[in-house]
Structure 1
Amino acid sequence: MKILLIDPPFYRFFNYYNRYFPLGLSYLSSTLKKAGHQVTLYDADCNVSPKGIDYTRLPDKYHTYVKELKNPENPIIKEIPRVFEKFQPDAVGITVMTPKAASAFLVASLVKRYNKNCYVIFGGPHATLKADEILKNTRDVDFVINGEGETSMLELVNILSTADTGSHAGNGKTDISPALSNVYGLSYRDGNKNIHNATGRFIDNLDCLPFPDRESLLGLHTYTSEDMGLLMGSRGCPYNCSYCATQIWTKKVRYRSLTNILEEIKYVYQRYGTRQFTFKDDSFTIHRKRVLEFCDCLSDAGIKINWDCNTRVDLVDSELLKAMKKAGCNSIKVGIESGSERILKLIDKGITLERIKESSRLFREAGIHWTAYFMMGIPTETKEDTKHTLDLLYEIKPGFASIGVYEPFPGTRLFDIGVESGLLNKEMSYEDFFTRIPSGYYLKDVNRRIDTMSHEDFAVLENELKNAFHHYNKGFIRIFERVKARSYLYVNNPGIFFNDIEKFFGWI
C-alpha cells in the first residue's frame, strides 16, 4: 500500500523556524516500510527559508495562520495537492497537535478533494484526546488512532490493503468491519455511529522498533545535520503536572536499551555527520543510574558528540551533572513554570522554589548551559504571582529563559478545572478551528482567559513580562554562554554557526 505521512503546516504560514524532523511519523514510517508498504514522509511544516524565531511572541502570529488557512492562493496550500498528485497515495496519515488542528483538517479536506477514496487517518496528541470530536466535526477523516501508533497503524493499514485487494480483483471492497473492531486504539464510523475500540496497547520492548525513517523525508537535503540528531531514549512520564497531557501515555516509563541508542547515534553520526544530538524524552534523568551508564558507554565507545536533553530540577545532582558534562552534554532544558510557590502547588509540579534555586547553582557549577521555561496566565494567577516569576528569573539566572501564556489543552486537569469554572468549553466545532486563533481554542470567551483580571490588564501584563524576558536573553553574558556551549559543533560544522547567526538576527 502507498502511504503518505504528513506533518501539517503551521510555522511555515508565518515563516518561523521549525527544527528537526517529525519523529513520531518517522517511527510510523520505518514500521510500515519494514512490513513492505511504500511510505513517503512529507514534513509540510519544514521551512527552507525561515526568518522568525522569537517563540515567546509566537501567539502574535496566530492571526496570520488563521487568515492564510482560508487563502487558496497561499503557496503552501497549493503545494499540498501537487504532492498528492506526485505520490498518489492510497492512504494519508496526519499527525495532529492541538495548535495545528485546523491545518490538519484542511489537509484532510485536500486529500478528499484529490481522491475521495483515499483513506485519511489522524493520529497524535490531539487525535488521542479528541477522537470523537474529530469524527463528529468532519467526514474527511476516516480513522483516528489513539495513543502510541506503530502497532495500531500497521494493523489498520494491513486491513485496508486487504479491502483494496478485493476491490482491484473486481469483487468489490472487502467488508473490513469485523477486522477493524480488533484494532486497539482505533476510532472510526459504523454508519452514523462513532466506534471507539479499547485503549491502545503500549510497546514494552522499544528495541523492537526500527530506527526512525529519516531517509523517506521529502526534501531531505534541506535539513541540517543537527536536525537529524533528534532521538527518543524513553517513552512515558511518571509525574502529574496538571497542565500537561503526557499523562495520557500512562505513568509507566519504558526505555530503549543503551546499546540500541548508541547504535542509532553511530548511524546518524556516520550517515549525516551529526555532532549535536537532542533527546526528546520528557525527563531524561529519571533513571539516574541509567544516565551514568549512558555517559560511560559514550566514553567507552569513543564517540565525541554534544547532546542536550529535558529534565526536572529535582532530578539532577552534582555528580550526575559532572558526568553528563564530561560525556558531551552541553545544554539542559527544565520547566520552572512559576516563581510563585502557590502556583507550583496548584499545577502539581512537585518542586519547590528552594529546589529550583539549588539546581540553578548546580547547573552553573557543572558549566552546562541551561534553559528555563516559564508560564503565565494560569487559572487564579495574580499580578503578584507574575512578579514572583520575574524576581525568580533574575535570581536563578538561566542561560536562556522562555515564557509563554498557558494554553488550555484537552486531557489535562487544568483543562477540566477550566470547564468546571466556566472558562472553557468541552468541545469545539469545525468552524471554531478556522475562526479562532490557537491560543483561543476551547475558551468560552476569547476575551476572558484568566479569572483574576480583565482582558486589557492581562494583555498589558503579558507584554511587560515578555519584554523583560526578551531583554534578559539579549544580555551579552547569555549570548556568550550559548555560543560557548555550541563551540564544538561550530568547529565541526561552520555552516551551523552561520545558520545560528541568521537565527539570532531573526530573533532580535
Structure 2
Amino acid sequence: MKVAFVHTPMPRVIVPERRRYWQAFDTRYHAAHPNLRPMRKVMWELPHWMHWLGGVLRARGYLDQVAIDFYTDGCELSGIDEEATARMLREVPADIFLFSPMAPNLRYALQIAGLAKQLHSRCRTVFGGVAATPLAEQVAAEPAVDFVIAGRGEQALPALLDSLSGRLPLDEVGHLVRRLDDGRIVRTARTYPWLPVGAIPMPVVELFPAEAGECLRYIRLVRALGCPFECPFCTIQTIGRSADSFTIDRVLAELDAYRDHYGRHHHVYFGDETFTVHPKRTLEFCAALEARGDVIYDIQTRPDLLTDAALLDGLRRSGCAWIEIGIEALRGADHRVLKGGRGAAEFTDTLKRIRDAGLNACSFLINGLPTQTLDDMRRSIDDVCELIGRRLLFASYIFGMVPYPGSQYHAEPRRFGIELLHRDYHLYHEELPPVYRTAHAGPDAMHRVLQDGVMALGEAMTLSEDQWPDHMAGMPRDGYGTFWNLPHS
C-alpha cells in the first residue's frame, strides 16, 4: 500500500503594506541568527505531521511513503492550478492520500483530493488535523473525502490502513468519521486512550529530498506536546491540555537526524506552545544543549513564564537566540485575561530581564480581539513600537485575529461578543479583512488599523546603522524579506 502525504498550498495574499515590514523583520531575524541563509523557495518549515505520522506508519509496516509538495508554489485565493496539480498527481499513483490542512487552505486540499480521485479512481483520501477535527462532519460530507480522523491520529491512522488492507473491521477504527453510501455521516463509537509521547516512534526524517533544506527557515522540532492553557482564539487543544515531554535523548536524536539530512547549518525552532511551562524540565534540557554547544534555537512561550532569572540564564547559555512571546494585546481587557493577570508594566519588567539576560524577545500581537475598541488596537500597536524603540522588544509579529474552527471564538462567538459574518473558510486568513464584527468595531475599520499597524511596526523595526551586525555585511540590504510576496505571506 502506497501512502502519499500531501502538503497543501497556501493562497497568495499580497499585502503591499507588508513589504517594508517583512524587510525590517527579516533583517532583525538574520541579525539574531548568524548561520541563517536565504530560502531558495519558501517552504519555511517542514510539515511535522507528515514526518511524525510517517514514523507511526513505518512502525506498523507501511513502508511505501511519499510526500507531495504543493506548498512551495502556493496557489491563488480563487483556487489551485488544476493542470499543474494534475501533472504532479499523475506521477504519484498512491493508494492513500493524506491531508492535514488548516482552515484557510482546507478548500484547496479538497480540490486536490478531488483531482486525486479522478486520476486514481481506486485511491482513498483521508483528512485530519486542526481544521478537519472540529469540522469533521462537514468535511466528511465532501465528495472528495473518504475518511476523516477527528482527533489525534497516531493510533487511528494505522488502524484505518489495517482496515483498508482487510485486517480489521472498519467499525473498529476509532476517531473515524465517514459518509455512508446513502449519504449519512457516521462517527465510530470507539475512542483511543491518550497516547503518551514515549509511545510515539521516531519520525521518518527523509520524506523530503535533502535539497528541500534550501527552502527551510529552520528545523522545527517538538520537545513537549500539548499546552495547559486555554486561550479562546487557539486551536491547539486538539492535541491536549497537558504538556507531555519527550526524553532529552529522543529530542537530540531527532535534531541530529534532521540536520544531517537537511543541513547542519540550520538552527532549531522548538514548536512547543509554551516551552518554559515546566521550569525544572526546561533547565534540564538547557543543560543538555549547553553541554553540546552546537545548537542555536528559538522558542515560544508566555510572558508570565519568563520571570525566573535562572531560567533566562539557562536559555541564554544553551543557545537560545529568539523568544517569541504571546502578548496578543497591550491594551484592552483581554491582555490581563489571556496572560495570567499580568499588565503592561509587568510585561515591560519581564522584557527588561530578557534583554539584560542577552536574549532577543519577539512579541505576537493580535489585532481585533473582541474586547478591543479601535483606540485600544491603535494604542497597543503604538506601545509595541515604543518598546522596540527602547530596545526592550527586538521585533514583533502582527496579524489580524481569526476565529478559526476549533477555537472557542468559533464555537461560541456570542459568548465572547463576536458576530461571525460567514463560514467561507478560505477567507479566514490573518491578512484579509476580519470575518466577524464586535460591539466595538466592524471588519473594514479593524483591517485599516491592521494595515496602519503593519506600516508602523515596519518603521519601528528598521535597523539603525549601529545595530547592523558584521555577519550580515555580505548581503544587500534590500535582499531581506523578499519572501513577503510568496505563498507564506
TM over 0.5: yes
Which residue number in structure 1 is paired with residue 166 of structure 2?
162
Write the deviation string for residues 78-111 of structure 1: whole angstroms up to 9, x where unpaired: 3332333222100100112111111111111111
Are 2:340 and 1:352 equivalent residues in the alignment?
A: no
Residue 165 of structure 2 aligns to a residue whose secondary structure is helix
Alignment of 1:145-160 (within 5 A): 145-160=149-164
Instruction: Measure the CA separation in 1 of the matches of 2:317 and 2:431.
Output: 44
Are 2:310 and 1:319 equivalent residues in the alignment?
A: yes
Which residue number in structure 1 is paired with residue 93 of structure 2?
88
- Contact 1:226 1:277 (C-alpha < 8 Å) held by counterparts: no
Residue 458 of structure 1 aligns to a residue whose secondary structure is helix
Match of 1:374 among 365, 384, 400: 365
Match of 1:283 among 255, 267, 274: 274
Give TM-score, length-normalised by structure 1.
0.80
Instruction: Measure the CA separation in 2 of the matches of 1:105 and 1:415.
Output: 21
Instruction: Measure the CA separation in 2 of the matches of 1:106 and 1:346.
Output: 40
Write the deviation string for residues 122-151 of structure 1: whole angstroms up to 9, x where unpaired: 011001111011123x12101011222122
Match of 2:131 among 126, 134, 145: 126
Instruction: Measure the CA separation in 2 of the matches of 1:256 and 1:216.
Output: 22
Are 2:76 and 1:65 equivalent residues in the alignment?
A: yes
Match of 1:423 among 405, 419, 424: 419
Number of equivalent positions: 450
User: Which amino acid in structure 1 is aligned with residue 102 of structure 2?
Assistant: M
Write the deviation string for residues 191-210 of structure 1: whole angstroms up to 9, x where unpaired: 32212234454321x23333
Which fold has the larger relative contact order, with Cα–Cα distance below 8 Å and residues 6 or more apart in sequence?
2
More helix by share: 1
Distance 1:463 1:326, change over 3 A: same
Question: How many angstroms does 1:411 deviate by?
Answer: 2.3
User: Which amino acid in structure 2 is aligned with residue 42 of structure 1?
Assistant: I
Match of 1:45 among 57, 71, 93: 71
Question: How many angstroms does 1:354 deviate by?
Answer: 3.1
Residue 139 of structure 1 aligns to a residue whose secondary structure is coil
Write the deviation string for residues 261-296 of structure 1: whole angstroms up to 9, x where unpaired: 122223334443244111011111111111111121
Structure 2 residue runs without a partner (length 5+): 15-39
Give TM-score, length-normalised by structure 2.
0.83
Which residue number in structure 2 is paired with residue 409 of structure 1?
404
Residue 205 of structure 2 aligns to a residue whose secondary structure is coil
Which residue number in structure 2 is paired with residue 260 of structure 1?
250
Instruction: Measure the CA separation in 1 of the matches of 2:476 and 2:192.
Output: 41
- Contact 2:13 2:77 (C-alpha < 8 Å) held by counterparts: no
User: Which amino acid in structure 2 is aligned with residue 5 of structure 1?
Assistant: F
Which residue number in structure 2 is paired with residue 400 of structure 1?
395
Distance 1:249 1:45, change over 3 A: same
User: Which amino acid in structure 2 is aligned with residue 116 of structure 1?
Assistant: S
Instruction: Measure the CA separation in 1 of the matches of 2:303 and 2:316.
Output: 16
Which residue number in structure 2 is paired with residue 31 of structure 1?
56
Structure 1 residue runs without a partner (length 5+): 51-63, 164-175
Residue 105 of structure 1 aligns to a residue whose secondary structure is helix
Which residue number in structure 2 is paired with residue 470 of structure 1?
458
Are 2:46 and 1:21 equivalent residues in the alignment?
A: yes
Question: How many angstroms does 1:31 deviate by?
Answer: 1.8
- Contact 2:364 2:396 (C-alpha < 8 Å) held by counterparts: yes
- Contact 2:137 2:185 (C-alpha < 8 Å) held by counterparts: yes
Q: Over aligned residue pairs, what C-alpha RMSD do you find?
A: 3.1
- Contact 1:21 1:227 (C-alpha < 8 Å) held by counterparts: no
